Structure 1
Amino acid sequence: MARTDVIVLGGGIVGTSIALQLVKRGMSVALIERGRPGEETSYGNAGVIEGSTIMPPAFPSDFGALLRVALKQASDANYHMSFLPWVAPWLLKFRAYSQPQAIEKTARINRPFFAQAIPEHEELMLQSGATQLLRCNGWIKLYRNDAAITGMKREFELAREFNVPVEVLDPDGVRKLEPSINPTFKHAVYWPAAVSLSDPLALTQAYAARFAALGGFTFKGDALRLHRSGSNWRVETDEGPIDAPEVIVALGPWAPDLLKNFGIRLPMGFKRGYHRHFKTEESAPLSRPVVDVHYGYLITPMRQGIRLTTGAEFAPRDAAATPAQIDRLMPKLKELYRIGSPAEDRTWLGARPCFPDSRPVIGRAPGQKGMWLAVGHAHWGLTLGPVTGRLLGEMMSGETPFVDPKGFAAERFL
């Protein structure tokens, strides 16, 4: 039986980043993952480290948009009819947190966290030999009508307040940055301070390798078998039980399966999302992520080709894939960009773990001595993995945290 200081449950980008940050602080850390690090939810993201993000996602306020979703005509959102009774309470809470005053409160709480996201990643990338994966040329969001850009007035004001650079472009301005994008939109917003990756999986694997090089241990095991063993926590692995006085739950969408065993029930929802890779056409290069906001998809260059990611699907976490959104958006994508043929047969599916206030839960688990939580990062697991690890390291060692952790505490839901 091996003993260590901290067990980290979950080897996605969040758990792996936490484990790396803690081992850098001199802790003995065991990272538990059922497969290989980074191959679950973390694999399928858009590859954007959103250090320039201001506003969180919001419940649609436009009746026409809601009607398209309800009639299953939208490409930005989909749902399983049988799941509506289960997800409706979460959606109502999400709608409440989407009101202007509430959403600005979330933006202000999140901002110091996001502001440190890119520097923390850059430091870890440099130490992990992964800087070749990084693109520092921002991302572009496209808008199809005047109302959409008018509705961003408050976000632009906050961007100025937070010293986040932003540029409003017309179609000609976009084509100067991305000549292969056709002018099928009216406005665009360029966030030059954002960075992106050519291979998110390779980044997680690089962090895992650095973790191992610094003396960390990765074990295959079943996190759901976590239990008390005297004053310690114990988890079973393929190499035997691992004991530690402290455990960090970073299981993404699988966290509720474990936490309910300890009487912890948090309002986590799941926004399922899909991606598909397409071959890159030499005559249609793409150098950065581009988002078509109205139709809810993103295209971005990856090592595997052009990655197309969808918006949200509300369905049971483990339900069979229903990638209808991809079929709905393809005509609009082909108008915007000359996409190549599919690079693979597989359509990837993952589930983003989300809380209705668009903030993760980071900190002590209520009522469980020695248990810490790092769950519910929603669209921002890639962005916030390293800063989550830094925050937990400071909290666990009794240092002054670089951000106020109260805004991320589980107690806000209890």
Structure 2
Amino acid sequence: MSRHAVVLGAGMVGVGIAWHLQQRGFQVTLVDRRQPGQETSFGNAGIIQREAVKPYPFPRDLKTLLSVLPNRRVDIRYRTGGMLKAVSPLLSYWRHSASRRYAQIVPEYASLIQLCLETHAPMIEAAHAKHLVRRQGWLEIYRTPEKLAKRVKEAEEARERFAVQFQVLNRAGLLAKEPDLGEDIIGAIHWLDAWTVADPGALVAAYAASFVANGGRIVQSDIRSVSQQSEQWRVTTADEDIDADDVAVAMGPWAGEWLKGLGYHFPTFVKHGYHMHYATQSPARLHYWLMDAEVGYLLAPMNAGVRLTTGAELDRLESPSDEHQLSDAENVARRIFPLAERRDAAAWKGARPCLPDMKPVIGPAPRHAGLWLAFGHGHQGFTLGPATGYLLADMMEGKTPAIDMRPFRAERF
């Protein structure tokens, strides 16, 4: 008989794991309190970021740190209570962002990113989801020649080391692609490898529907407990008990707290993000995903309208919403593109699950046979969900994964 695995969490990571385990012949049950793709995976920028071979480090230079302190930047905000609660993991994040350590982390992180397109592709095909995906890349726009030139040097390094493809656009070349941009924008980098998704939540739902069509089971219910019963596991939900040979924890920002009940204490913290959809002033139209790199927000032509997504807000997981960061980003965005009225009654808020060394945990739990971990993907859970599923399925089958998984082991904490 095939092994039965329960996957906890139905975001992009959890669905990616469930889908790939099913492809290997596992009987799989996917459990979440909400429908697939309705938490963090719902509200992101919708980019499968093949170019994102470097994780986001903690600012280290004094000028940037001083600019963050007044708490008015668009790209990063903080709340004092949340910072104090997460002081230990944030200090560790700062240490891992030092140049020497960060240089070691980059190739490890890039090894995951380099698998993103080839692992999304079969899932897109199986889910009949090509209509949601555009393969035209995205634009990183700039106001100043000096900052654009600096970023071009970084892009050239990424091309040499990690085969990232890009094109540099002057203002004329950029206007040929986006004729409605404001006068302040002087050029851009066109990242050519990335795929963009017009409805991120719908893509996760399509992957989950493909999983169900092939015999997978989804249980929508609150998870009450996870316990080991001799050589098996029992997941107790509000509606039923589910017994399994293996349990994979892919609960995103909630994973750290849940794993404390099994004796694991990971230094997790979250970066909140907000989004809002807008109409456009006729006849303007946004054709590409645009990141305003010097300010720190993104505009995306989604099915629901132009989605504005903010940078990071450091705070507690369950803190109430604060739309000031979104409003400040909107004020800047209106000066570079003719946004019209808001289309949502309130801003959406989500939480990116983060670990101090900027890498996820992917692999077996150190002290429990049959318990598998996959969380802490930071800004790139949407990009890395299928790759994580592919690699974890290899490990659960006892195969040698396509890349070295030692940098992602749980024992490093």
Give the TM interval when normalised to the shorter protein: over 0.9
Q: Could you list the per-position Cα deviations for residues 364-385 of structure 1 after superposition, in whole angstroms to 9, with x for gaps in the alignment? A: 1121111000000111111011
Match of residue 81 from structure 1: 80
What does the per-residue CA deviation read over 1:136-192, in whole Å, with 9 as the maximum and x for residues that have no partner?
Answer: 111111233345335433452132232211222222222122112223134422111
- Matched residues in 2 for 1:278 and 1:295: separation? 19
Deviations 1:280-316 (A, max 9, x none): 4442211221101221100001110000000111111
Residue aligned with 2:300, SS: strand
Distance 2:240 2:128 in 1: 32
In 1, distance between residues paired with 2:64 and 2:244? 49
User: Normalization by structure 2: what TM-score?
Assistant: 0.95
Q: Report deviation, 1:224.
A: 4.3
Q: Distance in 1 between matches of 2:20 and 2:68?
A: 41
CA distance in 1 between partners of 2:149 and 2:355 (Å): 27
Partner of 2:144: 145
In structure 2, what is the Cα distance between the partners aligned to 1:35 and 1:116?
28
* SS of residue in 2 equivalent to 1:341: strand
Q: How does 1:349-364 map to 2 (within 5 A)?
A: 349-364=349-364
Q: Match for residue 23 of structure 1?
A: 22
Distance in 2 (CA, whole Å) between partners of 1:6 and 1:149 is 48
Alpha-carbon offset, residue 45 of structure 1: 0.5
Q: Distance in 1 between matches of 2:240 and 2:375?
A: 26
* Aligned amino acid, residue 5 of structure 1: H
Which stretch shows the higher mean deviation, 328-337 or 7-16?
328-337
1:317 aligns with 2:323: no
3-state SS of 1:243 partner: strand
CA shift for structure 1 position 275: 0.4
What is the one-letter code of the residue matched to 2:169? L
Query: Per the alignment, do residues 335 and 259 of structure 1 end up closer, same or farther by CA in structure 2, a change over 3 Å counting?
Result: same
CA contact under 8 A between 2:96 and 2:356: conserved in structure 1? yes
Counterpart position of 1:366: 366
Whether the 8 Å CA contact 1:221–1:235 is kept in 2: the answer is no
Q: Percent identity?
A: 37
Say whether the 8 Å CA contact 1:248–1:374 is kept in structure 2: yes
Question: Take 2:97 and 2:255, find their aligned partners in 1: how far apart are those partners?
Answer: 24
> Which segment drifts farther, 327-336 or 254-263?
327-336
Alignment-derived partner of residue 33 in structure 1: 32
- 2:344 is aligned to 344
Decide which moves more: 349-358 or 94-103: 94-103
Contact kept? 2:308, 2:330, Cα under 8 Å? no
Instruction: Give the superposition deviation at 1:59.
Output: 1.9
The residue matched to 2:326 in structure 1 has which SS?
A: helix
SS where residue 279 of structure 1 aligns? strand
- Partner in structure 2 of residue 250 of structure 1: 250
Which residue is equivalent to 1:9? 8
> Does 2:271 match 1:271?
yes
Q: CA deviation at 1:62?
A: 4.6
Q: Which moved more, 1:127-136 or 1:282-291?
A: 282-291
* Alignment check: 8 A CA contact 1:4 1:30 kept: no
TM-score (norm 1): 0.95
Distance 1:72 1:111 in 2: 31
Secondary structure of the structure 2 residue equivalent to 1:140? strand
Aligned to 2:89: 90
Deviation at 1:12, TM superposition (A): 0.8
Shift of the 123–352 alpha-carbon distance from structure 1 to 2, 3 Å rule, reads same
Shift, 1:48, TM fit:
0.2
Q: Is the partner of 1:340 in helix, strand or coil?
A: strand
Residue 346 of structure 1 deviates from its aligned partner by 1.7
1:300 aligns with 2:300: yes
User: In terms of mean alpha carbon deviation, does 78-87 or 289-298 score higher?
Assistant: 78-87
Deviation of residue 78 (structure 1)?
Answer: 1.0
Pairing 1:225-244 to 2, within 5 Å after superposition: 225-237=225-237, 239-244=239-244
* Separation in 1, partners of 2:175, 2:58: 31
- What is the match of residue 197 of structure 2? 197
Moved more, 123-132 or 72-81: 72-81
Long gaps (5+) in structure 1: none
Q: Paired residue for 1:283?
A: 283
Range moving further from structure 2, 403-412 or 96-105? 96-105
> CA RMSD for the aligned pairs?
1.7
Letter in 1 for 2:77: N
Task: Single out whichever of 248-257 and 227-236 deviates more from structure 2.
Answer: 227-236
1:392 aligns with 2:407: no
CA contact (8 A) 1:43 1:201 kept: yes
Aligned to 1:111: 110
Q: Report if the CA contact (8 A) 1:268-1:353 is conserved.
A: yes
Relative distance call for 1:62 and 1:281 in structure 2 (3 A) is farther
The range that moved more, 179-188 or 290-299, is 179-188
Structure 1 residues 150 and 92, CA gap change in structure 2 (3 angstroms): farther
Q: Which runs of 4+ in 1 moved over 4 A?
A: none
Q: Is contact 1:269–1:355 with CA below 8 Å preserved after alignment?
A: yes
Structure 2 residue runs of 5 or longer lacking an equivalent are: none
